[in-house]
Amino acid sequence: MAIGQQRVSVVAVTMTALAAQYPSVAADLQAAGLTAAEEDRDRAAILRVGLTHMVDAVAGPVAPASVLGQNLVFRQTHDQAFKALGATGMWRTP
Amino acid sequence: MLRFPVPHVALATMFAAFGGLSSVGTAVLPAAGNAPRVDRRPPVRGTIVADSTLPDTALLVSVPRLSVRPRAMATGTRTVQAGVQLLDSLRQTLVYVPPQCVGTHRCPLVVVLGGAAIRSREMVNPGRVLAYRSPFADQYGMILLAPDAIAAPGIWDVLDGLSDGTTEGSRTPLGMRVTQFRDADVRNIDAALKQVLRQFAIDPDKIAVEGFSNGGSYALFLGRNNPQVFSRIAAVSPTFPMEVDDPPHTTTQLFISGGIAEGPSIMQMWLRIATLLRHEGHQVEMVPGLRGHVDYRLDKDYEWGWLAQSWASPKSHDTGRVAPGAAADPILTVELLTKMTTFWTRFMQEPDSVLNTGRHSRWPSASSGCRSWP
């Protein structure tokens, strides 16, 4: 995935595969109002904006009008919501 | 060559601490200093430069390069025996040979370096380091060389670390304070490499150095100072950025990884190193890990897979830069975050059997069909 202008590799669980294997995971997704594909996509977006926010200038300039630029603004104005999400442990495991 | 800003006060502190090293190289200080010069070998500057948040931990040292020359010294033509072998009983240097490397086939060699522990040798214990990595050697057919850290108790010789008073084990790497550099490990590894090249059938073009934490820092340090020896460097959660006077080249490929949960300063540090190396022309695989300062076995799958793949099919020049706006991300909203928080709260309550399957499915395999994110 891209962080700013730098390409990085993030090895992460594919929720689509896991939900297909475990009905309880599919139920967790349903209870949250997400499809597995949406979870994979949204998690990648949240990670991308989080990493870009974290490393800032190292990543290179981000166009303000881009999706990442808009998400960065959202990240900066919703810090508590991101902390609550991180507190679930999603960035440590699996 | 990478250069990081070095606080002047830190240089002064370092210089005072550095006075003891004189027999093997040259301490080099910028114009402001009066560096001692003992030129018994060609001077090679290497700098361990702390982050700006570490105003007292910079170290500027001279590091002797390895004298081993793999292409000329890889005289071993047959590997006789599989398993763990004691190379040097005095220094507790171990070698691990996977079964498929027995015979005349020349195998890649990986120098493996454990992480540091201030008061214990356990983290760098060669037996422990080998036990953790031997499954990858078996999987990919690589011979492992595990030297012990002999310069200081439990750490590699780029650090003579002092605790900052916080609890051992729970401290972040930023808690270490560099006080002194020694070169005993450089010499020890040099001798061990020569011996391995004589005794085992090694592919001289496929020698790597890899390590975790302090071992990752040392892998960067040793690898970048010796491009004639190491064609691959893998540093996992390196603890200190380092500046070295590596000769201009772009032949060495690097793998640099840090844990997201290690914190922003660590992430910025290693991403900065990786980015600057890319600017120099090196191919660098940058891997933010979903972990803290932990050497997860499953993350090592990716690392060792990269090692094998990069040797098997070297890429053409790749800057690692991507076109802006390439990702098809959604616009983030409060509703989206709420849904994700709800899901992950529930998901983390799944039994270990499910979570472990998730962990195992992180790396592409025939059974999982999973992949790394594009």
As a whole number of angstroms, the distance between CA B334 and CA B299 comes to 31
Residues from chain B contacting residue A52 (CB–CB below 8 Å): none
Q: What is the pLDDT of residue B327?
A: 56
User: Which residues in chain A land under pLDDT 50?
Assistant: none
Greater pLDDT, B133 or B367:
B133
pLDDT tens digits along B198-222 = 999 999 999 999 998 888 888 988 8
Per residue in B234-275, pLDDT (tens digit) is: 999 887 655 565 666 778 899 999 888 887 777 777 887 888
Of the ranges B88-92, B248-252, B356-360, B366-370, which is most confident?
B248-252
User: What is the average pLDDT across B100-128?
Assistant: 80
Omega before residue B108 within 30° of 0, cis: no
pLDDT band at B368 (very low <50, low <70, confident <90, very high): very low
For position B349, what pLDDT does the model report? 92
* CB pair distance less than 8 Å for A58 and B350: no
Helix residue ranges per DSSP H, B126-227: 126-140, 184-199, 214-225
- List CB contacts (< 8 A) between B342 and chain A: 31-33
CB contact under 8 A, B340 and A43: yes
Q: Which residues of A touch B362 (CB under 8 A)?
A: 11-13, 94
**What CATH code is assigned to B70-312?**
3.40.50.1820
List, for residues A36-56, the tens digit of each pLDDT value: 999 999 998 998 888 888 776
Q: How far, in Å, CA of B170 to CA of B164, rounded?
A: 12
Degrees to nearest 5, angle at CA B198 with B197 and B199: 95
Which residue type sits at B189?
A: I
- Any A CB within 8 A of B345 CB: yes
Residue B65: predicted pLDDT: 82
Give the pLDDT score at B164: 41
Q: B96-110, B275-289, B357-371: lowest mean pLDDT where?
A: B357-371
Residue, of A15 and B2, whose pLDDT is higher: A15
Q: Which of B289, B325, B331 sits opposite A63 (nearest CB)?
A: B325
What are the structural domain ranges in chain A?
A: 2-86
pLDDT value of position B166: 38
What ipTM, to 2 d.p.? 0.95
- The percent of residues in chain B predicted with pLDDT above 70, rounded, is 60
Output B78 or B51, whichever has higher pLDDT: B78
Cβ within 8 Å, pair A44-B373: yes
Min Cα–Cα distance to chain A from B16, Å: 32
Average pLDDT score over residue span B61-86: 88
Q: Where exactly are the structural domains of chain B?
A: 70-312
Whole-prediction pTM: 0.77
Q: Is the pLDDT of residue B341 over 60?
A: yes
Indicate if the pLDDT at residue B124 is higher than 70.
no
Chain B residue whose CA is closest to A94: B359
Contacting residues of B for A26, CB less than 8 Å apart: none
Answer whether A10 sits within 8 Å of B346, measured CB to CB. no
Q: Return the residue in A1, A3, A5, A7 with the most chain B beta carbons within 10 A, the one to mutate for interface testing.
A: A7
pLDDT band at residue B181, thresholds of 50, 70 and 90?
low
The phi-psi region of residue B372 (left if phi > 0; otherwise alpha if psi is between -120 and 50; otherwise beta) is beta
pLDDT computed for residue B316 by the predictor: 56
Query: Would you place residue B1 in the very low, low, confident or very high pLDDT band (cuts 50, 70, 90)?
Result: very low
Cβ proximity of B277 and B254 under 8 Å: yes
Contacts of B369 in chain A (CB under 8 A): 14, 17
Mean pLDDT, chain B, whole residue set? 71
The pLDDT of residue B88: 73
Please determine, for residue B149, whether its predicted confidence score (pLDDT) is greater than 60. Answer: yes
| Own/partner long-range contacts of A79-85 (Cβ < 8 Å, ≥24 apart) | A81/B334, A81/B337, A81/B338, A81/B341, A82/A46, A82/A50, A82/B337, A84/B337, A84/B341, A85/A46, A85/B337, A85/B340, A85/B341, A85/B344
Give the pLDDT of residue A91. Answer: 80
pLDDT of residue B39: 29
Taking an 8 Å cut-off on Cβ atoms, the answer to whether B288 and A8 are in contact is yes
